[in-house]
Amino acid sequence: MREHRMNRRRWLHWGLGVGVAGVTLASLPEVRLLAQQVQDFIEGPPVPDIRPEQVAPHVWVIYAKDGFPTPENRGVMANVMFVVTSAGVVVLDSGCSLQHGEMAIRMIRTVTDRPVVAVFNSHYHGDHWLGNHAFVNAFGNSLPIYALPHTIEQIKGAEGNLWRSLMERWTNQATMGTQVVPPNRAVQHGQTFTFGDVTLRMHHYGRAHTPSDLCVEVLPDRLTYVGDIAMENRIANIDDGSYPGTFRYYDALQQAAGDQVWWPGHGRGSRTLLKDYGTFLRGIWEPCVEAVKREIPLERAKDMVLQDPRVAARAKTMLGFESNIGKYTSLAYLEAERELF
């Protein structure tokens, strides 16, 4: 990475540093500004530091306050969590870009000088794994990056470059320079990994937010990172997911893990996160099921959803509600038709 940046600096010096009457162009303020803008365009500007917060004895979060990517937040929309063990640092989702990952590494180093020894990617949406690029730059191409097999397949396929391109577009190129670095180790449901004094357990119970959502339980801390199967105050993308699948996932996860603090990829964690978000999702799902049973058309089903108190209670405060509730009502209605018929 340093060599890449140095080569770029040499190119800029060669291209802009031609002398005119003993004065190099590179010394002129306007040209220096242009050079900086060219560098930013090639790679995108750094992401401002976000101080880590300790949320459990071994677990820290670099919290993303925004729910969606914008040019202003440079794509920082998802939490990066890390677990400090006696054997090194384990990262749970690496961020939305090279720059986000680089910031996360800087912040990890304010907590510990132990190296990152593993990364886990919760699913294939790019705001959770595009930061892999920064971690392999810093800790080597052999750094273990774990995910479920379907997630690896998707990132290696069309989803990888699709998400890289989408993040560039949504951020007005602020994430430029990010490369697709897929996970290189497959995990299975129920598998455990021990890193020094901390053991992590893998959970997967079928289609929820996507077909391959990995939840990672930090056993000694009674904290489970749930990725995007639940969110604190953001309406979740469920284009690739399932409403009843999500409810089944919640039930199985809670039965297997017991009482936990559930930490999402978007928002803050709590012991009631799955219950709270599940209540909201049922406020969409159950009216749609009723509408399909009664042969009520989709347009009226949306009104039923908006009038449901479980949905109405979140309408004014939930991020992305206005722009997404119609779409996710349609998805619920179509899935209800498939389930019932």
**Residue 48 within a domain:** no
Predicted local distance difference test score (pLDDT) of residue 26: 45
Q: In what helix (H) or strand (E) does residue 186 lie, and over which residues does it extend? A: strand 185-186
Residues lower than pLDDT 70 in the chain: 1-41
**Residue 127 within a domain:** yes
Span 25-72, pLDDT tens digits:
445 666 555 544 554 458 899 999 999 999 999 999 999 998 899 999
**Residue 134 within a domain:** yes
How far apart, in Å, are the Cα atoms of 112 and each of 88, 117, 189? 9, 13, 30
Half-sphere exposure of 331 (CA within 13 A, CB side): 17
Looking at residue 79, which CATH number applies to its domain? 3.60.15.30
Predicted local distance difference test score (pLDDT) of residue 341: 80
Number of domains observed in the structure of the chain = 3
* 158 and 288 together in one domain: no
Span 72-93, pLDDT tens digits:
999 999 999 999 999 999 999 9
* 74 and 172 together in one domain: yes
Per DSSP bridges, beta strands 145-147 and 116-120 are parallel
* 201 and 249 together in one domain: yes
Distance CA 183, CA 140 (A): 13
Q: Is 9 exposed, middle or buried (0-12, 13-18, 19+ CB in 10 A)?
A: exposed
* 132 and 207 together in one domain: yes
* 92 and 215 together in one domain: yes
Phi-psi region of 45 (alpha: psi -120 to 50; beta: other; left: phi over 0): beta
Task: Mark which of 251, 271, 291 sits at the end of a domain.
Answer: 271
Domain region containing 305 = 282-340
* 251 and 136 together in one domain: yes
Distance CA 154, CA 140 (A): 23
All residues at 6 or more sequence positions from 27 whose CB lies less than 8 Å from its CB, including other chains: none
* 69 and 112 together in one domain: yes
* 11 and 147 together in one domain: no
**Residue 276 within a domain:** no
**Residue whose tokens read 């021990």:** 194
